[in-house]
Amino acid sequence: MYLRNKFLTTALGCIALIGSQMSATAQETNSAASSSNLRISLEQAKQYAISHNHTMQNATYAEKKAEAQKWQVISTMLPQVTLGYDYNNFLGNEIELMGQKIEMNPTGTFTATASMTLSGAQIAGANVTKIASELSKINTEKNNQDISSDVKQTYMSILMLEKTNGLLKENLENIKTLQTATDEAVRVGVSEETDADQLKVQVAAMKDAINQTERSIETLYNTMKILLGASFDTKIVLTDSIGNLLNAEKALSLLSQGIDLNKNNDYRVLRANTELAKKQVTQAWWNYGPQITAFYRYYNQQTFGDGGLNFNPPHTIGISASWTPFTSGGNYAKVKAAKMDLATAQSTLELTADQLKIQDAQARFNLNSTYENYKTQEENLEVTAKVLASTTNKFRYGTASSLDVTNASTNLIVAQSNYVSAMSDLINAQITLEKLLNTPNSFTQTTSK
């Protein structure tokens, strides 16, 4: 029971760590790729996710929308041309002018008006949409980083569990061999039946551990499909190996890099929000300013019938200015609200800067700690593997009991579980510091193996 609970906790822990860092939108997306085999390295998986993940696609759409909105605001300050045609029928009515009756014939009037309106509020609004467009681009980069980190974490977790599963199967075959030999020894009367029973229990425990691992691997593969934007029936084949990707010593090189808040995507988003709030204050002040409109109009009236009067000249140009100095406090309220938004944004930016510095210090401590634990568990795994091999040999020659073999085998499985957990903790610590420093590729080698 202890063996099953220990291994299940570790395996499910890997999945929980993945799930906790995935965005909610990424978890809810449906697969869109066609059914196929997808052989992919870690770097290829990152690029594939960036191109096909639905969260990334939505971020790209938002970026394009923000760019379109920017030009929508700018276009209001550029010349606008309006064409119109009016037909009027006066139903045979006449007008009397200087004692003479003049018939009012039907008319058709074509007008073309070119105008341009300009105000300080429009200019300020254009600056607001420009900052909003830049903010959308930063959000796209942040989503890119988040998806890449999730893909890396999931990819390496799969490789870790597959390696562990292979080791468990090797151990299972060794114990099965001992069980067969012990059953034969019991049959001929040179061993006790309890020895065979203990080995049988150990075989069952290993099979259960293998099943738990395989279910965890399947769950992670489904998570990978969601991240990649692949269809559910796509078979994913990982072409990198955990030994090729994990370089624990190189991970420590990050500790020599100081955090630059201007490169951190969370800070960049909030800094852009602060700049946006500043521009919105300026825009609110410009509501007090005047609005100037210049126009040119072409007028062409055609009378259907004899006679008719046309008092409108064909060409007209003009300029107008309007100003609303008093709005019963409406403009003042807009300025005040914009200032409160700016104060909130500045306070949040300062708070986030302090939090990121604390997170950076904690991430460095965690990286050091998980590295030391990883090295310890790596050495412990080697020792327990040697102990099991030695105990197995002794059992074959009758100098060790089946209980000794069971204990040594159990210790090896626990050591393997602890090793996988330590490796997972190290990878998580790496990714956390990578995201803070915005250096997502600083740990892994990219050569497929």
446 and 41 Cβ atoms separated by less than 8 Å: yes
Question: What does the pLDDT read at residue 8?
Answer: 41
Q: Virtual CA dihedral for 98, 103, 106, 112, nearest 10 degrees?
A: -20
CB atoms within 10 A of CB 197: 14
Compute the average pLDDT of residues 372-401.
87
As a whole number of angstroms, the distance between CA 140 and CA 381 comes to 42
45 has a pLDDT exceeding 90: yes
Compute the average pLDDT of residues 58-69.
86
**Which has the higher per-residue pLDDT, 43 or 4?**
43
**What pLDDT sits at residue 100?**
77
Tokens representing 18 are 């993945």
pLDDT tens per residue across span 420-439: 889 889 988 988 998 899 87
d(CA 35, CA 244): 28
How confident is the model at residue 307, as a pLDDT? 60
Domains with residue ranges and CATH for the chain: 2-437 (1.20.1600.10)
- Amino acid letter at 162? E
- Does this model's pTM top 0.75? no
Give the pLDDT of residue 70: 85
Per-residue pLDDT, 54: 85
- Residue 14 confidence (pLDDT): 44
pLDDT in tens, 252-307: 888 888 899 999 999 999 999 999 999 899 888 888 888 899 989 999 888 887 66
Tell me, what's the pLDDT at 441? 52
Q: What is the mean pLDDT of residues 213-220?
A: 93
Sign of CA dihedral 213, 215, 216, 220: positive
Q: Rounded to whole angstroms, how far apart are CA atoms 234 and 164? A: 24
% of the chain exceeding 70 in pLDDT: 88
Lowest mean pLDDT of 30-34, 180-184, 352-356, 379-383, name the range: 30-34
pLDDT confidence tier of residue 130, bands split at 50, 70 and 90: confident
| Region of poorest pLDDT, from 33-37, 45-49, 281-285, 371-375 | 33-37
Residue 348's pLDDT band (boundaries 50, 70, 90)? Answer: very high
The band of 219, judged by pLDDT with boundaries at 50, 70 and 90, is very high
Average pLDDT over residues 209-213: 89
How does pLDDT run across 148-176, given as a tens digit for each residue? 989 998 999 999 889 888 888 888 887 88
Question: Residues 352-371: what's their mean pLDDT?
Answer: 94
